[in-house]
Structure 1
Amino acid sequence: MNRLGRLTEQAMGMNDTVWQRHVNPWSGWTRVVTLPLLAIAIWSRVWIGLWSLVPIAVLIVWIWINPRVFPRPKSVDNWMSQGVLGERIWLANEPGTVAGHHVRVARKLTMIAGLGTAIFLGGLIWLDLAATLFGLAVTMLGKLWFIDRMVWIYRDHQSVEG
């Protein structure tokens, strides 16, 4: 169902402990700002040349460290935490846990975010500001809408488990 998601999860070393920390809304929200910061860092090659590799490397390290640095949340009664919990359910891919209507929408949202990412990367490569900003907007819209769908999956799962 979501092979790329599971591969990403493995590459990030997401075990139970890391997931429990990643549920902290600070983890999720600080990751949201990472993509715009990465765009600025990559674009900075125009201004600072090879020194741009420093902020790029810092952000790549941050992406990996982020789900590990925040404590487990005291509550998951918030949108971002529930989105992360829903994503975990989505990635587990256990038969019967995710309704078909969620699967179809989540796949479409992943394609939207992927298309945005391709435009975003093209804009960064060719230093096209309009393509970069448009791609960034589409990617973030797709990802945030995906997270919203994950919240729905989490809430459906909670209502079934009672």
Structure 2
Amino acid sequence: MKATDVVAGAHGMTDDAWRRHANPWSVWTRFAAIPAFELAAWSRDWIGWWSLTGVGVVLIWLFWLNVRIFGPVEPTSWAAKGIYGEKLHVDGKAPAAHKVVLNVLIAVGLVGFVLIAWGLVALAVWQVLLGTVMVVMAQLWRIDRYGLLFEQQRLLD
């Protein structure tokens, strides 16, 4: 089983969930969840174990509610085309040239995620900020690349 299948399965990504996730509101609120998660985790210094409530809310938002709450959309916006392209990648329909770039961007995002985790554990603001920039930039670039993949596939069909 591929890592993309595991992630898609964890989010319950049916075809309908993919169309809902392509809604720009879904895409942009997932970006907004990054600092919300960081703040919730950081708040342990102020409110102790109650911080887990905020962390839990953000995780429920990211892994379950976000891909279900917004209406399905057609691939007409930049964000929607990117998510439709991501589905092509998950389904194994991405050409090798796309896979290389996407894997590099995934690696950059993972390094950013590790920096965020390190910064949140150590309460080190610079690691959190650098990690956040890396995650957001890699994700934006991935969405753009997925959009290109979608457009190329649409021309072939």
TM value normalised by structure 1: 0.92
**How far apart in 2 are the matches of 1:3 and 1:134?**
29
User: Is 1:106 aligned with 2:108?
Assistant: no
The root-mean-square deviation of aligned C-alpha atoms, in Å, is 1.2
What is the aligned length? 156
Shift of 1:99: 2.2
The equivalent residue for 2:128 is 132
Partner secondary structure for residue 17 of structure 1: helix
Q: Percent identity?
A: 31
Deviations 1:20-64 (A, max 9, x none): 211111111111111111001100111111111111111111112
Q: Which amino acid aligns with 2:81?
A: Q
Deviations 1:58-103 (A, max 9, x none): 1111112101001112x4211100010000000000xxx3222211
Partner secondary structure for residue 145 of structure 2: helix
The equivalent residue for 1:65 is 65
Deviations 1:118-158 (A, max 9, x none): 11110011111100111111111111111111001101111
**How far apart in 1 are the matches of 2:48 and 2:3?**
32
Deviations 1:2-31 (A, max 9, x none): 922221101111111211211111111111
Structure 2: stretches of 5+ with no match in the other structure = none
The equivalent residue for 1:150 is 146
Q: Which amino acid aligns with 1:105?
A: V
Structure 1: stretches of 5+ with no match in the other structure = none
Partner secondary structure for residue 72 of structure 2: coil
